[in-house]
């Protein structure tokens, strides 16, 4: 009798507290917990200004929950990445095809946002920015997009999966040269796609690489980070370093600190998103 009573109490607690359920149960019931942490650190070089920015947004739109995570790596000033923090998310969700053709909507929003930046260089300067973003929709679907060398790395079953593409001139040399540029985008940059950079824009593009994936029981966490991380460690090293850390804020700080210890020469910014 006592055993039966204790079992009923246990069942009542599980019904009352969704986080006590398994990952699979929570995904089925739509109550998957998503947490995040973020950290920024300035380069060990003699730069005066931290040119990275991060942003996190949460909105309920048309009965859907939308989370937005963005990491922006500014070059030659902060104006462009500051504009991206303020405008890119709204431009994405306001795209007419956002609810029907999400991949195309994100691509269009990146390009249209870049046109806004280029049309007002008085405010945004001659610089630009790499970017990596992730949209999480109803805790079920994730849309990752990037331009430049900021990277998105997903951990599934302890394995690192790169969702972004490093837009380096060595990979895009043929395309750049067709536009009349040279291997390092007119000799000035080490990325082949970016927002801004009006003076060399004829030789580069802001068209992003976009991946749409389903969030399932094997999805553990996502790393969004600027090149300050990836120039000193590979994807699997980053995943191995923080895989055991359940607190995403602690994980973000750990990842950035490790990059600093490895003497990264670029600003370091990262967001860790935990699923489950």
Instruction: Kindly tell me if the per-residue pLDDT of 201 is higher than 90.
Output: no
CB-side exposure of 72: number of CA atoms within 13 Å?
Answer: 30
Q: In whole angstroms, give the CA distance from residue 55 to residue 124.
A: 18
Written as six digits, the tokens of 71 are 């990491």
Distance (Å) of CA 120 to CA 37, 79, 80, 114, 261? 33, 11, 10, 10, 39
Within its chain, how far is the Cα of 149 from the centroid?
A: 11
pTM of the model as a whole:
0.83
Distance separating alpha carbons of residues 157 and 238, to the nearest angstrom? 14
Q: Which two tokens stand for residue 118?
A: 């280029």
For residue 148, how many other CB atoms are within 10 A of its CB?
A: 30
Domains and CATH numbers, the chain: 31-275 (3.60.40.10)
Q: pLDDT digits over 96-151, tens only?
A: 999 999 999 999 999 999 999 988 766 556 788 999 999 999 999 999 999 999 99
What average pLDDT does the segment 179-195 reach? 61
Q: How far is CA 57 from CA 38, 85, 165, 174, 246, in A?
A: 13, 10, 23, 37, 21
Taking only the tens place, the pLDDT of each residue in 203-253 is: 788 999 999 999 999 999 999 999 999 999 999 999 999 999 999 999 999
Instruction: Look at residue 199 in the predicted model and tell me its pLDDT.
Output: 78
Helix axes 248-261, 235-242, angle to 10 degrees: 130
Answer yes or no: are the C-beta atoms of 152 and 235 closer than 8 Å. Answer: no
SS3 242: helix
């Amino acid at each position: 009798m006592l055993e039966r009573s204790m079992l009923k109490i246990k069942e009542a607690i599980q019904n009352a507290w969704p986080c006590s359920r398994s990952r699979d149960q929570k995904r089925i019931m739509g109550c998957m917990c998503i947490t995040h942490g973020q950290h920024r650190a300035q380069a060990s070089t003699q730069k005066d200004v931290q040119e990275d920015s991060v942003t996190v947004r949460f909105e309920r739109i048309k009965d859907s929950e939308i989370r937005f995570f963005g990491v922006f790596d500014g070059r030659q000033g902060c104006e462009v990445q500051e504009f991206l923090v303020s405008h890119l998310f709204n431009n994405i969700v306001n795209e007419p095809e956002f609810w029907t053709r999400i991949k195309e909507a994100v691509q269009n929003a990146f390009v249209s946002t870049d046109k806004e930046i280029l049309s007002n260089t008085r405010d945004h300067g001659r610089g630009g920015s790499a970017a990596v973003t992730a949209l999480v929709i109803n805790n079920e679907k994730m849309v990752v997009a990037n331009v430049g060398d900021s990277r998105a790395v997903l951990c599934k079953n302890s394995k690192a999966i790169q969702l972004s593409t490093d837009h380096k001139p060595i990979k895009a040399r043929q395309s750049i040269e067709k536009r009349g540029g040279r291997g390092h985008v007119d000799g000035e940059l080490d990325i082949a796609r970016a927002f801004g950079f009006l003076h060399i824009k004829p030789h580069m593009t802001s068209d992003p690489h976009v991946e749409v994936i389903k969030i399932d029981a094997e999805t553990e966490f996502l790393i969004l980070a600027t090149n300050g991380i990836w120039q000193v460690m590979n994807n699997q090293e980053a995943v191995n370093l923080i895989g055991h850390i359940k607190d995403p804020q602690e994980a973000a700080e750990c990842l950035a600190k490790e990059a600093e210890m490895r003497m990264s020469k670029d600003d370091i910014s990262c967001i860790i998103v935990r699923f489950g």
